[in-house]
């Protein structure tokens, strides 16, 4: 079993069916995990545990060596399947400051801009930075 798949099975035991249907590659899994992230923000109170595990899995994926293959590269799949989509959901993007460092945010500018106009990105960036300045917690990404 691929390491990314084994790690996903370990971190998301309640989502085994979702994880197992994505054995062909990590990009599909990230699409499904983003939908689960959105659901985690829709419940009251928000599902902090699942949100944390999703961002911790993203951090783990970014630390894995590059494969050189688009279909198996974990960093690329995480960037395209998770990071690019964050600005599309206000609840997710409003809370991003807790999960991502300013350095990582700055490094992901092109990914965030994929779905945003220059003005939208400017507002998104200013909002993130203002919240980040007032946050003293550790961010996994």
- Structural domain spans, the chain: 3-133
pLDDT tens, position by position, 38-81: 999 999 999 999 999 999 999 999 999 988 886 789 999 999 99
SS3 letters across the chain: CCHHHHHHHHHCHHHHHHHHCCCCCHHHHHHHHHHHHHHHHHCCCCCHHHHHHHHHHHHHHHHCCCCCCCCCCHHHHHHHHCHHHHHHCHHHHHCHHHCCCHHHHHHCHHHHHCCCCHHHHHHHHHHHHHHHHCCCCCCCC
State the pLDDT at residue 125. Answer: 98
Question: Does position 18 have pLDDT exceeding 80, yes or no?
Answer: yes
């Amino acid at each position: 079993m691929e390491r990314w798949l084994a790690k996903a099975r370990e971190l998301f035991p309640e989502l085994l069916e979702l994880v197992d249907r994505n054995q062909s590659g990590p990009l599909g899994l990230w699409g499904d995990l983003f939908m689960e992230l959105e659901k985690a923000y829709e419940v009251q109170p928000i599902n902090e545990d699942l949100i944390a595990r999703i961002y911790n899995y993203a951090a783990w994926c970014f630390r894995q060596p590059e494969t050189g293959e688009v279909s198996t590269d974990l960093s690329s799949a995480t960037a395209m399947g998770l990071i690019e989509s964050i600005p599309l959901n206000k609840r997710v993007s409003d809370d991003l400051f807790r999960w991502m460092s300013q350095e990582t945010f700055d490094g992901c500018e092109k990914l965030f801009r994929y779905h945003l106009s220059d003005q939208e990105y400017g507002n998104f960036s200013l909002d993130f930075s203002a919240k980040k300045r007032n946050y003293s917690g550790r961010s996994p990404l």
